[in-house]
Structure 1
Amino acid sequence: MNKKLRPIERTVACLDVHDDVVKKVILRCAPEGWNIMLADSYDDTHQKTLIACAEMILTGWAAVPAWMFDAPNLRLVQKFGAGYDKIDINAARKKGICVAVASGMNADPVSELVVFLVLGLYRKFRYLDETIRSGKWVKSEMRAKAHSLREKKFAILGLGAIGKAVAKRVQAFGAKVIYHNPTPLGANEEAALNVQYCTFDELIATADILSLHLPLTPDTRGIIDAVQLSRMKLSAILINTARGELIVESDLIEALRYGRLLGAGLDVFQNEPLSNDNALLGFDNVMLTPHIGGAVFDNVQNMATHCFNNMKLFMAGQPLPFRDVIVKGNSMV
C-alpha cells in the first residue's frame, strides 16, 4: 500500500498586520503543512524575529528594506499586490533573492475606486452629502455644477492590467479612452480594447480626466509636475491610485489653489499616512482615500491564492508567470 507523502514544510513570514477575518482567509489559502507566521506589529524588532527563519516573505504594505535580505534562509519575496517600490530591489539582486508581484490581481478593485473618485468629483458627492446632512436641499444648484462621464476623453497614463480594467468600466459610461504607454499596444489589441494611443504631450493637453497607472521608478517619479499641470484643461480632473510620488504634490496643491484644475481624486500620497496639516485636506474639490485601492475583502482569497501559487512554483523550481517576476534570483533547483 502506498503511503501518502508528507507535504514539505515551508516557512513564510507575512509582514502585514491584518484583521482576524483576513488572517483566516490567508491561512486557509496556504499550502498544507506550511508554517505561516503572521505579523502583530510593524516594529523592526518584531519583523526581524518574524523573518529570522523564513524562506519566503509575503508583504503588501510593509516595507522590505536591505537588512531583511540578510535573513539566512530567505529565498523569495512575494508582493501581496503589484507595486514593489518599498522592496529594496538592489539588495535582492545582490543577494540573489527572487522578488515577485501579483500582477493584475488588484485590477478590479482599483478600477472600481477610480470610477468612484471620478463620479464623486463630477457629481459633487462630498458637497451633496454634507449639505443634506446639514438640512439643505441643493437639488436646484446641481445642473450648473455637476458633470457626466458620457463623451468625456478619459486619458490613461499606463495601460497595464489596471488601466485596461479602468478602460472597460469607463467605456460603459460612454467615455472615450485614450492612453499613453512607452510602447504602444498593437493595432489588434487597441481595437479589441477600443482605445486610442496618444503621445504623452497630447494625452496631457486633451484629457478631460487623467488617470495615473504607472509603477514608481526613477523615470516616472514626479512625471506630473507644474509644467504638465499647466498644460491640462482647466476643466480636467486628475486621478491617482498608483503611487503618490508620480505627482509633485506641492505643484498639484498650487494648481488647485489657483483653480487650474476642476478637481483631483487621490488614493496615494507623497508621504503616507497623510499629515493633519497637509494642504490637500483644505480643498472642497479634492476627494481623498487612504491608499485602499486594492483593499477589499472580496479579493483577499484571489490574491492569497495567486501569491501562494507563485511560492509553490518557486520552491518546486518551476517558472513563475513572467509578468510577476521582478528579480529572478537564484533557482531552487
Structure 2
Amino acid sequence: MNKVLIMLAVPRQQFEEILPGWEIIYPEDESFTREELIDKVADVDAIVTVYGNKLSNDVIDAAPGLKIIANFGAGYDNIDMEHVTRKGIVVTNSPDPVTEPTAELAMGLMIGTARRMGEMNNILKNKEELKWGVMRNLSTTLVGKQLGIIGMGAIGKALARRAVASGMSVVYHNRNKVSADDEKRLNARYVSQKELLKTSDVVSLNMPLTAQTKGLIGKEQFQLMKPEAFLINTARGPVVDEQALVLALQNGVIAGAGLDVFDNEPTIPDALREMPNVFLMPHLGTATHETRGEMSALVAENIKAFFEGKVPPNQVS
C-alpha cells in the first residue's frame, strides 16, 4: 500500500477520492511537529507540503523511500530544490487554482489602498473622531491610472484583465515578453523595469521568490517611483526590502502599500501595522473555500499521475 503524508490539515476528501487504497497520514491537529514528521515519514512514498511551511532536509533524509513531494501552492521556495534534485525526488506544485483568487485579492488591495478603505474602516470601527464633508477624507481613483505589473505570469495576466476592466492602462516587465496575442488581449505594453517604476501609479509584484528576485525592490527602486504611487505585493515578502519599504512610506517616497505577504511571516513590523496608508492582509491570496478544495484535488492528481508512470501535470523539478 502506498503512503502519503500531508503536512498540514488541508482538505482531505479530495485525496481520499483521487487516491483510493492509499494510506493517508494526516495531522490530528493543524500540523505535525518536526519530531512527528521525522517519526512518520520513514516509509512514505509521497509528502504533501504547504506553501509558507518549510520542509527541512532532515525530514526528507528521514524518508528513504520518498519519491515525490507535491506542494500545496504555486510557489515552492519552502523546499530545498538542490537537495531533492540530488536525491532524485520529483517536486510538483499546484499553480492553476491560485491564479484567479490571488489576482482578485491583488485587485482588492489596489482598490482598498488607493481608496483608503482600510484606514476609514478602522477609524469608524474604533469609534475614532472623523470629520465628514465633501472635501474631507479624499482618496485616489484607479480609473485612468497606470498599473505596472512585475511578473506577467498567470496571476499577472489575470490582474491585468481586471485592471483594464476597471479603466486602467497596463505596462509590464517580465523575464520574457508575453505573446503578441496576450499583449493585445490584455492591452498591455512591455517596458523596462526602470520605466515601469518611474511611470506607474500602482506597482504590483507577481513574481516567484528566487535567488534573483529576493530583494528586487529596495531603496533604489522606491526612489524611482512616483510619490503618489502605491506598491502592491501578493508575491512573497522577501522580494521587497521591508526596511526600505518602511522608510519609503515614512518619508513620503511613495504614497502607500497593500501587502498580503511579509519578510518574516507571521511577524509584521510595528511600523507597517501603525501606518494608516498601509493595507495589510495575512497571506490570504488563495484563501477561499473553493480554492482550497481545488488545490487538494490538483495535488492529489499530481501524485496519482506520477505513480501511474506519467509525467505529473505540474512537475517543476
Pairwise TM-score range, normalised by the shorter structure = over 0.9
1:188 CA displacement: 2.0
Per-residue deviation at 1:42?
4.0
Q: Please say if residues 131 and 138 of structure 1, whose CA atoms lie closer than 8 Å, have aligned partners that are also in contact.
A: no
Spell out the pairing of 1:127-166 with structure 2 (5 A cutoff). 127-133=119-125, 134=127, 138-140=131-133, 145-166=138-159
**In the alignment, what sits opposite 1:34?**
22
Question: How far apart are residue 88 of structure 1 and its match?
Answer: 0.8
Contact 2:164 2:186 in 1 (8 A): no
For 1:180, which of 173, 177, 182 is the aligned residue?
Answer: 173
Root-mean-square deviation (Å): 1.8
**Identical columns (%):** 35
Tell me by how many angstroms 1:167 deviates.
1.0
Alignment counterpart, residue 114 of structure 1, candidates 103, 106, 112: 106
* CA deviation string 1:116-151 (max 9, x = no partner): 111111111123223333175654256662121111
Q: What is the aligned partner in structure 2 of residue 331 from structure 1? A: none
Structure 2 counterpart SS, 1:290: coil
Selected match of 1:193 from 182, 186, 191? 186
Among 38, 55, 65, the residue aligned to 1:64: 55
Q: Distance in 2 between matches of 1:91 and 1:103?
A: 22
- Mapped pair 1:84 → 2:72: no
Find the residue that maps to 1:325 and give its secondary structure.
coil
Q: Alpha-carbon deviation of 1:60?
A: 1.3
Alignment counterpart, residue 202 of structure 2, candidates 195, 201, 209: 209
Asked if structure 1 preserves the Cα contact closer than 8 Å seen for 2:197 and 2:225, the reply is yes
TM-superposed CA distance for 1:27, in Å, is 4.3
| Secondary structure at the counterpart of residue 79 of structure 1 | strand
Q: Which residue of 2 aligns with 1:54?
A: 44
Q: Which runs of 5+ in 1 are unaligned?
A: 1-8, 328-333
CA-CA distance at 1:162 after TM superposition: 0.8
The separation in 2 between residues aligned to 1:190 and 1:257, in whole angstroms, is: 36
Q: Give the TM-score of the pair, scaled to structure 2.
A: 0.93
Report the 3-state secondary structure (helix = DSSP H, G, I; strand = E; otherwise coil) of the residue aligned with 1:179: strand
Alignment partner, residue 162 of structure 2:
169
Query: Structure 2: which amino acid aligns with 1:56?
Result: A
Q: Corresponding residue for 1:269?
A: 262
SS at match of 2:316: strand
Whether the 8 Å CA contact 1:117–1:265 is kept in 2: the answer is: yes
**CA-to-aligned-CA distance 1:142-191 (integer Å, 9 cap, x gap):** 66621211111011100111111111112221111111111111212211
The residue type equivalent to 1:223 in the other structure is: L
Report what 1:102 is aligned to. Answer: 94
What is aligned with 2:275?
283
Q: Deviations over 1:61-98 (max 9, x none)?
A: 32112122221110000111111111010111110000
Aligned partner of residue 220 in structure 2, secondary structure: helix
> Counterparts in 2 of 1:220-239, with a 5 A limit?
220-239=213-232
What secondary structure is seen at the aligned counterpart in 1 of 2:133?
helix
Match of 1:300 in 2: 292
Which amino acid in the other structure matches residue 50 of structure 1?
Answer: K
What secondary structure is seen at the aligned counterpart in 2 of 1:86?
Answer: coil
Structure 2: runs of 5 or more not aligned: none
Q: 1-side partners of 2:21 and 2:261: how far apart?
A: 37
**Letter matched to residue 23 of structure 2:** N
Secondary structure in 2 matching 1:99: strand
CA contact (8 A) 1:56 1:74 kept: yes
Q: Return the offset for 1:50.
A: 3.1
Question: In 1, distance between residues paired with 2:252 and 2:20?
Answer: 57
